[in-house]
Amino acid sequence: MTATSRTYWLEHAWLGTHVEPGVTVDVAGGRITAVHRETPAPPPGAEILRGLTLPGLANAHSHAFHRALRATVQVGSGTFWTWREVMYSVADRLTPETYHRLARAVYAEMALAGITAVGEFHYVHHAPGGTPYADPNAMGEALIEAAADAGIRITLLDTCYLSAGFGRRPDGHQLRFSDGTAEHWAERCSLLKERDHVRIGAAVHSVRAVPAGQLATVARWAEQRRAPLHVHLSEQTAENDACRQAHGRTPARLLADHGVLGPRTTGVHNTHLTDADIALIGGSGTGTCMCPTTERDLADGIGPAAALQRAGSPLSLGSDSHAVIDLFEEARAMELDERLRTRTRGHWTAGALLRAATADGHAALGWDDAGTLETGARADLTTVVLDSVRTAGPLPRLGAETAVFAATAADVRHTVVAGRHVVRDGAHTLVPDVPGALAKAVEALRA
């Protein structure tokens, strides 16, 4: 055994199709080297993971700084657009230092929730007013460092954000987001380096924030690097209306016409779509990232996730605005929203919802080799207790149903990322006081 190799014994393991008792997993160099089934007792020296172990969860859509808005934005009424004004006031106060402190705490909260990789849709690039920092990627690097500090992997989805709306220059708040042109965005992004725990991807903020004539520049940048490309797509009907008015077509059609859709692309939300949009997204293999807790929090509406998947769009899940950080809640919300909409049950099995939260989520972030408990996969393990007040009672073989429909993030006992035990017995091993770190980081951003 080398220093980096170890053996885990999983009391119960979800193997993609079913739950099996007594599974032993050998790990070396951050990857699973062997999976032994039918091992009813832990081998000598194995680390024992009691409960149900899943592959690590992928949070495919995050804006780390929105965590500072939790609860604050629940006072009063309004819409997405009034919520956005409050969100901008926090964005105005971020510096590379305060952003690093906040993101470190937020990513630690994610690790405690069993998340092993995050897709950070990052657009606060420059100092207030739009002046670049000495290191033009100081903000992105702060997020990359934060993920390393919290022990999780990150796909930095560096976001192109150039305009306030169709034909409108960025407003005061948005100057920090803009590189001026997509060419300048690409030059800055090209300076970012991938590392063992880091992938660099691209994002188009939305069809309102990138002029149509510059969409292809972002798509080409991602294509040349075989990098993931994400885009907020049809979250709001007002955006659809403005896009139709400016371009005579829907946002999905506009993106397709400029080469943005395809199998490495993920549309985030995909809420207000026509049947033709659904066919276009599914037919091109473009993924869909649903963020149900944010979509309900912002009164966005319920997207046609079931129809999108039937059309060929792989599904992933994200906590987006971090109203809560709980991938089990995201997974069940997708199914339960569809039940409310259709008044029928059982649109996805628990296993299908877990696949969205694991393998398909990691793939949407460019980690094709994560999210399964198989030989060769990255050794990411998330263990959920089956003896809490929420999870006790059901037969262990119904562990997937228990995890998805009853567990919360608080039921995660262990999180192992690339063979490193980041959460042990419910405690973060790298960030000693996560609630304290969150409280301090949010306090620093209060007006």
Active site residues: 269, 320
User: What is the residue whose two structure tokens read 């319920």?
Assistant: 302
Which phi and psi (to 5°) does residue 107 adopt?
-70, -30
Query: Binding string, 307-346, against Zn ion, x = CB under 5 A?
Result: -------------x--------------------------
Rounded least distance, CB 289 to Zn ion, Å? 9
How many binding residues for Zn ion (CB under 5 A)? 1
Rounded least distance, CB 188 to Zn ion, Å? 21
Rounded least distance, CB 206 to Zn ion, Å? 9
CB nearer Zn ion, residue 6 or residue 322: 322
Rounded least distance, CB 61 to Zn ion, Å? 6
CB–CB of 410/403 below 8 Å?
no
Rounded least distance, CB 372 to Zn ion, Å? 27
Rounded least distance, CB 236 to Zn ion, Å? 12
CB nearer Zn ion, residue 26 or residue 320: 320
CB nearer Zn ion, residue 62 or residue 284: 62
CB nearer Zn ion, residue 320 or residue 326: 320
- Tell me which residue has its CB nearest to Zn ion: 320
Rounded least distance, CB 205 to Zn ion, Å? 9
CB nearer Zn ion, residue 39 or residue 286: 286
Q: Is the dihedral of CA 97, 98, 101, 106 positive or negative?
A: negative
CB nearer Zn ion, residue 300 or residue 335: 300
CB nearer Zn ion, residue 4 or residue 79: 79
Q: How far apart are CA 165 and CA 173, in angstroms?
A: 13
Longest dimension (CA), the chain: 68
Q: Which chain residues interact with Zn ion by CB under 5 A?
A: 320
